[in-house]
Structure 1
Amino acid sequence: MAKKTRVAAPAGENPRRPCPCGSGKRYKACHGAGDDVIVTRPFAGLAVECDLVALREFLPSATAPLPLRTPAERSVTIASVLPGASAALVRPGGEVLLGMQVQTRSGDLSADLARALEWGLAAEPGTALPVVGPGLTGTDRLQDLIDVDAPLELTVHSDFAWWVAPEDGTEPSAEVLATVERANAVIMPTEAVEGDGVRAAYWVDTGTKAHLRWVRPEPEEQIVAALARLQARGELGLGEGTRYAGSFRAHGLLVPVWDLDRELHPSEWSKPVTDFAAGLAAALADTTPLTSEERRARDALAGKQVTLR
Structure 2
Amino acid sequence: MAKNTSSEFVLRPFEGIPAEADLVAMREVVPAATISARTNAEYGSREFTFTTSLPEQWPALHRADGHVFVALQTLAGSGDVSRDIAANLLEAWELEPGTPVLRSGLPGEGPRLQDILDLEQPFEVHTHDGFDYWLDPSVEVSAELRSALDEAAESMIDTKKVSTVDSAYWCRMGAKEFLRWAMPYDEDAVINGIARLHAQRASSIDGAKFLGAFRSCGIVIPVWELVRGSEVEDIEAAAAEFWTGLKAAIENTEPLDANERRARAGIISRQITLR
Question: How does the TM-score come out when normalised to structure 2?
Answer: 0.91
Structure 2 residue 233 is matched with structure 1 residue 263: no
Q: CA deviation at 1:305?
A: 2.1
**CA distance 1:62–1:124, change in 2 (3 Å):** same
Q: How high is the sequence identity, in percent, across the aligned residues? A: 36
The CA distance in 1 between the partners of 2:248 and 2:46, in whole Å, is 43
Q: Which residue of 1 aligns with 2:145?
A: 176
Q: What amino acid does structure 2 have at the position aligned with 1:92? A: A
Q: 2:160 aligns with which of 191, 203, 216?
A: 191
Structure 1 SS opposite 2:215: strand
Q: Which runs of 5+ in 1 are unaligned?
A: 7-34
Q: Which residue of 1 aligns with 2:129?
A: 158
RMSD: 2.2
The CA distance in 2 between the partners of 1:94 and 1:276, in whole Å, is 43
Runs of 4+ in 1 over 4 A off after TM superposition: none
Q: What amino acid does structure 2 have at the position aligned with 1:179? A: A
- Structure holding more strand per residue: 2
Q: 1:113 aligns with which of 60, 66, 85?
A: 85
The CA distance in 1 between the partners of 2:223 and 2:121, in whole Å, is 27
Q: What amino acid does structure 2 have at the position aligned with 1:43? A: F
Q: CA deviation at 1:85?
A: 1.5
**CA distance 1:275–1:85, change in 2 (3 Å):** same
Structure 1 SS opposite 2:38: coil
Structure 2 residue 97 is matched with structure 1 residue 125: yes
CA contact (8 A) 1:98 1:113 kept: yes
Which moved further from structure 2: 286-295 or 86-95?
286-295
Matches within 5 A, 1:227-306: 227-240=194-207, 242-306=208-272
Q: CA deviation at 1:44?
A: 1.4
Structure 2 SS opposite 1:66: strand
Q: 1:205 aligns with which of 148, 172, 182?
A: 172
The CA distance in 2 between the partners of 1:94 and 1:181, in whole Å, is 25
The CA distance in 1 between the partners of 2:220 and 2:91, in whole Å, is 31
The CA distance in 2 between the partners of 1:270 and 1:38, in whole Å, is 37
CA contact (8 A) 2:159 2:170 kept: yes
The CA distance in 2 between the partners of 1:170 and 1:239, in whole Å, is 46
Q: CA deviation at 1:150?
A: 3.7
CA contact (8 A) 1:48 1:150 kept: no
1:103-161: CA deviation from partner (whole Å, max 9, x where unpaired): 3342211111111111122211111113x323854411111110234431111011112
Q: CA deviation at 1:284?
A: 2.2
Q: What amino acid does structure 1 have at the position aligned with 2:156? A: I
CA contact (8 A) 1:210 1:260 kept: yes
Q: Which runs of 5+ in 2 are unaligned?
A: none
The CA distance in 2 between the partners of 1:256 and 1:135, in whole Å, is 32
CA contact (8 A) 1:225 1:298 kept: yes
Q: What amino acid does structure 2 have at the position aligned with 1:301? A: I
Q: Which residue of 1 aligns with 2:182?
A: 215
Which moved further from structure 2: 66-75 or 205-214?
66-75
Structure 2 residue 12 is matched with structure 1 residue 45: no
CA contact (8 A) 2:39 2:118 kept: yes
Structure 2 residue 55 is matched with structure 1 residue 83: yes
Structure 2 residue 32 is matched with structure 1 residue 61: yes
The CA distance in 1 between the partners of 2:168 and 2:106, in whole Å, is 37
The CA distance in 1 between the partners of 2:119 and 2:45, in whole Å, is 20
The CA distance in 2 between the partners of 1:36 and 1:141, in whole Å, is 14
CA contact (8 A) 1:245 1:257 kept: yes
The CA distance in 2 between the partners of 1:253 and 1:217, in whole Å, is 6
The CA distance in 2 between the partners of 1:185 and 1:38, in whole Å, is 36
CA contact (8 A) 1:74 1:96 kept: no
Question: How does the TM-score come out when normalised to structure 1?
Answer: 0.82
The CA distance in 1 between the partners of 2:197 and 2:250, in whole Å, is 10
